[in-house]
């Protein structure tokens, strides 16, 4: 954009006025054009088609992966797996770090009080050669009886997402974060979480264009409460 000081133009009054009007129109329509481009871009990225393409093509790299060690094929520089679920006023958090291929994947299982946020229990966990081991196996099995991740069992991709019933989409043009939510009655998810077969849940997927590496979360909400989250990040 540029600005013109009209009284410095050596011309008749009518010529100056005409010139100023042209400049104002140019500025006005230039601004309008930029605004429309921004709005169009945001609307496009907030669409189901864009989000399912953006998310589906990426999560298919992980869902499914039966053996945790096979994640190194997708993320040779390492990865972090995070899972959390709600049970009787507590969050059970599982976090594992894959640092180097060929070495055990290690992490912790924690019990967190939802109200206070206090860490009440912490157990070391190791995954090696397809098996989990714990420094307190009895307590670990009480806290994490499923002993697995959803991505070990469930297949997800763009085509599968397109068949779910859409609930909502979201895209933040400021920071590039996005999410898409579905209303589903999925027997595989319900069985994994110990729910009734016909239980309806909100299945969400979350990511951000600001993350240059892989960073996606899957969430399950029941009655508007977050009950489960699983995330893999590179």
Residues 5-24 pLDDT 10s: 444 434 445 544 554 454 45
165 assigned to some structural domain: yes
Q: Which run of H or E residues covers position 216?
A: strand 215-222
Residue with the bigger pLDDT between 158 and 223: it is 158
Are residues 60 and 89 located together in one domain of the fold?
Answer: no
Domain boundary among 106, 137, 152: 152
Residue 37 banded pLDDT, cuts 50, 70, 90:
very low
Expressed as residue numbers, the domain containing 193 is: 46-64+153-234
- Angle made by CA atoms 34, 40, 43, in degrees to the nearest 5: 140
pLDDT at 17: 56
27, pLDDT greater than 90: no
Are residues 109 and 211 located together in one domain of the fold?
Answer: no
44, pLDDT greater than 90: no
Close Cβ partners of 134 (under 8 Å, ≥ 6 residues apart): 109, 123, 124, 125, 126, 140, 141
Domain boundary among 100, 118, 152: 152
Average pLDDT value over all residues in the chain = 87
Question: What is the reported pTM?
Answer: 0.80
pLDDT at 43: 65
Each residue's pLDDT tens digit, 110-135: 999 999 999 999 999 999 999 999 99
Average pLDDT over residues 32-49: 59
C-alpha–C-alpha distance, residues 61 and 49, integer Å:
19
pLDDT at 202: 98
58, pLDDT greater than 80: yes
Strand partners, 81: 96, 232
State both tokens at 154.
């469930």
Domain boundary among 152, 169, 188: 152
3 assigned to some structural domain: no
If one counts the domains in the chain, the total is: 3
């Amino acid at each position: 954009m540029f600005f013109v000081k009209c009284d410095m133009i050596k011309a008749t009054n009518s010529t100056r006025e005409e010139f100023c009007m042209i400049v104002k129109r140019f500025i006005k329509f230039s601004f309008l054009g930029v605004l429309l481009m921004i709005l169009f871009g945001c609307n496009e990225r907030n669409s189901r088609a864009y989000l399912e393409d953006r998310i589906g093509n990426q999560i298919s790299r992980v869902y499914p992966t039966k053996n945790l060690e096979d994640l190194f094929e997708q993320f040779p520089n390492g990865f972090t797996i995070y899972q959390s679920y709600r049970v009787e006023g507590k969050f059970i958090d599982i976090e594992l770090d894959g640092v180097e291929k060929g070495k055990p994947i290690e992490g912790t299982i924690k019990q967190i009080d939802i109200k206070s946020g206090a860490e009440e229990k912490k157990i070391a966990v190791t995954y090696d050669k397809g098996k989990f081991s714990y420094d307190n196996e009895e307590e670990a099995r009480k806290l994490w009886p499923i002993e697995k991740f959803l991505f070990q069992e469930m297949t997800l991709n763009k085509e599968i997402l397109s068949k779910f019933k859409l609930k909502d989409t979201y895209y933040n043009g400021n920071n590039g974060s996005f999410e898409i939510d579905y209303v589903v009655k999925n027997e595989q998810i319900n069985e994994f979480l110990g729910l009734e077969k016909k239980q309806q849940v909100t299945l969400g997927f979350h990511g951000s264009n600001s993350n240059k590496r892989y960073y996606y979360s899957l969430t399950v909400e029941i009655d508007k409460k977050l009950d489960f989250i699983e995330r893999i990040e590179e």
